[in-house]
Structure 1
Amino acid sequence: MNVRRLIPSTALAGAVALGAVTLSACAGTSDTADKGDKGGSGGLDVVASFYPMQYLAEQIGGDHVAVDTLTKPGVEPHDLELKPRQIGELGDADVVLYLKGIQPAVDEAIAQAGVKNTVDAATLTTLETHGSSTGHGHGEEGHAAEEAGHHGSEAGTDPHIWLDPVKYAEVARGVGAALAKADPAHAADYTKNTDALVKKLGDLDADFRDGLKNTTTKTFITTHSAFGYLAERYGLDQEGISGVDPESEPSPARIKEIQDIAKKDKVSTVFFETLASDKTARTLADDTGLKTDVLDPLEGITDKSKGDDYLQVMRANLDALQKALGAK
């Protein structure tokens, strides 16, 4: 999976709590964010669990927040481990923004630390259950159920809500309201920033709708079943090779099933992720004469990402889907 950015270690020096460590959306350096205007402006210390939450906090909070992300570069969100000190210091943050069900370590840490000011993005929109296939009957029910349970909430729901611009906008509004409640003095700015971000996400949604409206096929194959919401939103069919874990090995039966689907639905491309192994995708592509390309689940931004932020990478995903699906 993709990974996400973390503040430089120098910003940690002298920090009393994890919540005081900063990655400001607008400050020039982490030192400025930590020691500069924050205190004078009454700014908020926000801890975000991973990149999709960090992006919302930075875009909506603007100058009034200092944002720290818990997930280091090179670490999958689900594999994150926190030190006891970090768990204890979570309670010092003004706001903790996370997505319950995708990072067990964060969920447990919040419970252990007794954090009061938390915002669970999963409560700000409606979560759904997605299996290996979204939109038609491909895939076995047992396989779909196994996927949903392996990577999601206790109810087996799909946590990848940020890959649907409409749901992500719903979450953005909830985050904006939470920041305004935590920092009433700057509520008007949070509302203005939220509205601006929601408009950008609305434009992104329109681009996806227009760009994927007329395609040769509606089926796309990916190693990581992260795109259920996106597929449902735009009338596509997601087929996951290995389920929700891009590093797991698919069964021979699943490979045969994917091969049959590719032939039947005129699939041209097998998608993999930038930082996950592409072995399975390339093997399947070689066996079926298909192409390979990247479809980014946007769990982090790195120097290998096809863009510098959420909007840029999502548009790169749109370009990749248009090409693979034969958009007209």
Structure 2
Amino acid sequence: MKKVGVVVFVLLFLLLVGCNSNAGTETTGENETNDKLLIYSTLYPLAYFAEEIGGAYVKVETILPPGSDPHNYEPTSKTMIDIAEADMFLFNGANLEAYANKIKSALAEENVMILEASDGVSLIEHIHHHEDEQAHEDEHGHEEDEQAHEDEHAHEEDETDSEHDHDHGDADPHLWLDPIRAVELARNVKDALIELNPDQAETFESNFHSLEEQLIALDESFHQQLENANNNEILVTHAAYGYWEQSYDIKQIALSGLSPSQEPSQKELERILDHVNESNIQYLLFEQNIEPKVAEVIQSETNVKSLQLHNLSILTEEDIENEETYFTLMERNLDVLNKALEY
């Protein structure tokens, strides 16, 4: 479809990201039906929204292999060639896909629309509570910093404060788990599709509004059911559920940070264990594509049982076989939350 510049594009991408051995999904760069827009997406929810809005006028591929982790995935050069020949590259943004900016740079000379779906959507900040605890324990050092400030070392303290802020707060990229923010993601997708194919604007608008109604109804279900929960704390494998905290008054006790690779310190792990036992939390909520080693410690040191919570970032092979969708998975999550909050 778009052969000009592909070789140059691939060479540029390899220079930017280096060779990698990750096995990606088998993708085809050919748009089998010429009147369809070919879209490559990083995450399942974005691909689902594009398919629901675009209908018969789009062909959507998800570049991540089933069950993979979008936080640390790297595309193969084969996948990069396919993206260069597509009509749109669709990614979440908010620093979730570490490779996205490199792809954007490599695609600069290609005729591919690049859509960061989270653009313009309100993000929340995730706070790393274990660092706050360490700061509390190190009161003496904190007092010395204050004295240093009084002794005209303001510049040094400003630098320290800047590092402190960076370490403690990051934008939570998992906004598709909030149905209301998912509406905004879908709206951005709809607007991009209209730009690419204005002749079908009416169809895209109609499909978007149908999707919007379903998302609003889903949000209402979450509110109605979770407002009556006996408790509000969930023990999860990584901190992907900040938007549920904000929207539904759920508190996540996370074994790792925004990325599953951010494992807790020994002191933080001890604090989590104490809290789980004191609060009588009954379940550890595993995710479909993440199995942190620290979870084994939690289960061996407490009496928690396991349930699966789906973060929806990517489908598993089983999900695909069962023809799961964004809505069936979110409804299953609601059932899991109802059970996990019964203690």
TM-score normalised according to structure 2 size: 0.75
Q: Would you say the 8 A contact 1:242–1:249 is kept in 2? A: yes
Residue of structure 2 equivalent to 1:30 = none
The runs of 5 or more residues in structure 1 that have no matched partner are: 1-5, 13-17, 21-33, 133-137
Residue pair 1:307, 1:313 contacting (<8 A) in 2 also: no
- Change in Cα spacing, 1:143 to 1:313, as seen in structure 2 (3 Å) is farther
Residues 102, 85 of structure 1: alpha-carbon distance in 2 compared, 3 angstrom cutoff:
same
Contact 2:125 2:170 in 1 (8 A): yes
Shift of 1:276: 2.3
Q: Which residue of 2 aligns with 1:141?
A: 132
RMSD of equivalent CA atoms: 3.0
Give the match for residue 135 of structure 1. none
Distance 2:72 2:273 in 1: 31
**Structure 1 match to 2:100:** 106
Alpha carbons of structure 1 residues 113 and 231: separation in structure 2 relative to 1, 3 Å: same
Amino acid paired to 1:207: S
Question: Match for residue 10 of structure 2?
Answer: none
TM-score by length of 1: 0.78
Alignment match of 2:246 (pick from 224, 232, 248): 232
Identity over aligned pairs, percent: 29
- In the alignment, structure 1 residue 157 sits paired with structure 2 residue 148: no
The reply on whether 1:325 has 2:341 as its aligned counterpart is yes
Q: 1:65 to 1:149 in 2, by over 3 A?
A: farther
> In structure 1, what is the equivalent of residue 62 of structure 2?
69
Q: Residue in 2 aligned with 1:125?
A: 121
Local SS of the residue matching 1:123 = coil
Distance apart, 1:168 and its partner CA = 0.5
May I ask how many residue pairs the two structures share in their alignment? Answer: 289
Q: Which residue of 2 aligns with 1:314?
A: 330
Structure 2: 5+ residue stretches without partners: 1-23, 136-161
Return the alpha-carbon distance in structure 2 between the equivalents of residues 287 and 307 of structure 1. Answer: 37
In 1, are the aligned partners of 2:288 and 2:311 still within 8 Å (CA)?
Answer: no
Amino acid at match of 1:126: S
Relative distance call for 1:264 and 1:174 in structure 2 (3 A) is same
> Which structure would you say has the larger Rg?
2
Q: Partner amino acid for 2:290?
A: A
CA change 1:220–1:302 in 2 (3 A) is same
1:257 aligns with: 271
Residues 187, 150 of structure 1: alpha-carbon distance in 2 compared, 3 angstrom cutoff: farther
Between the aligned partners of 2:83 and 2:317, the Cα distance in structure 1 is: 28
CA offset at residue 70 of structure 1? 1.8
Could you tell me which residue of structure 2 aligns to residue 173 of structure 1? 187
Aligned-partner Cα distance in 1 for 2:101–2:301: 41
**Which residue matches 2:210?**
196
- Is 1:50 the equivalent of 2:46? no
SS for the counterpart of 1:300 is coil
For 2:237 and 2:76, how far apart are their aligned partners in 1?
31
- The alpha-carbon deviation at position 249 of structure 1 amounts to 4.3
Indicate how the Cα distance of structure 1 residues 245 and 307 shifts in structure 2: closer, same or farther if over 3 A, else same.
Answer: farther
Verify the 8 A CA contact 1:217 1:267 in the aligned structure 2.
no
2:314 to 289, 300, 317: 300
Shift of 1:67: 1.0
Whether the 8 Å CA contact 1:224–1:246 is kept in 2: the answer is yes
Conservation of the 8 A alpha-carbon contact between 1:98 and 1:119:
yes
Q: Would the aligned equivalents of 2:288 and 2:316 in 1 still touch at CA under 8 Å? A: no
* Conserved 8 A contact 1:242-1:248: yes
CA contact (8 A) 1:162 1:168 kept: yes
Relative to structure 1, the CA distance from residue 83 to residue 281 in structure 2 (aligned partners, 3 Å threshold; closer, same or farther) is closer
- Structure 1 pair 235–139 and aligned structure 2 pair: CA distance change class (3 A): farther
